[in-house]
Chain A
Amino acid sequence: MTVNPMYHQTNQRMEEELCWITRAKENPESFGPLYRRYHEQIFRYIHQRMNDEETAFDVTSQVFMKALNNLHRYEFRGVPFSSWLYRIAKSELYQAFRDKKAERTVNIESYQLFEIIDEFDEDNSEANKKKLFESLSKLKEGDMQLLELRFFEKRSFREIGEILDLTENNAKVKSFRALEKLKKIFNNK
């Protein structure tokens, strides 16, 4: 499976971000380039998991406010700044679900369903698509989270680990277990 290049971080990019972070710690106005770089990615991550567009924009703003307020605590430990932002986004997102501001929704494209059907070595028929769609609703939140990150957003295991606070290897094992669970539900239907 390919990894989405949008989430790939080069060393040069990380060094550039470190300079911006150092400046932003002194002057919040210098946070601008980081905000502009990650606003869309963070918004899409949040909006992908909820229905309401306006709430998604509100939660996105909350993420950046929290990031700016806690920037003095950020220390570079080899993990890209984007992963730190995604962790805040995940925490704000689940806070919104707890506060009942938003309803947990899973948004999938048809081609993503067919990609999973391919992984199961089944034929790409409409019947299988419908079966898989129904099977997804039987999955637990934790497994769904892993499938969204790995199979729908095509993130690397390293990044999944950084977002979910797991080791790269653990993220890999858990992602495949989640896929196995989905396959089991699919085959029992």
Chain B
Amino acid sequence: MEIKTIRLDRSRLSSEYIASRQNFKQIVTCCEAPSISPFKSPLFFGAMGLSSLTLAMMLSINGHMISDENEWPNRGVEMH
């Protein structure tokens, strides 16, 4: 980067003037609340974890029911 100008003895702004230009309300209103990515949120993993567990349980129960249904007719055949 090129340094365009070098200035000597520029008048110094007073601390009072700089303080008078503070605008904290503007800073707060312009900023959204700190947002955490949904993928990093513990709530996301909680919800995902619970739904995965429920799905796994349902599949497992369903699997048992299907295998039970398949087993009975076979037994019937064996008995004959």
Contacts and interface: CB of A to CB of B under 8 A. Distances in A.
A181 B7 CA distance: 20
A44 B5 CA distance: 17
Given A57-B21, A72-B36, A97-B1, A35 B6 contact: no
Contacts of A136: 6
A65 B31 contact: yes
A47 B27 CA distance: 19
Interface in A51-77: 51, 53, 57, 61, 64-65, 68-72
A78 interface: no
Interface string B1-29: 11111111110010100110111101110
A125 to B, nearest CB: 16
Interface residues of B, number: 27
A105 B5 contact: yes
Given A40-B18, A43-B18, A51-B7, A141 B13 contact: no
Q: Is the interface of A mostly helix, strand, loop or mixed?
A: helix
B30 interface: yes
Contacts of A44: 18
Interface of B: 1-10, 13, 15, 18-19, 21-24, 26-28, 30-34, 36
16 contacts: A28-B28, A28-B33, A31-B24, A36-B22, A39-B22, A43-B18, A43-B21, A64-B27, A68-B27, A104-B2, A104-B4, A105-B5, A108-B9, A133-B6, A137-B6, A144-B3
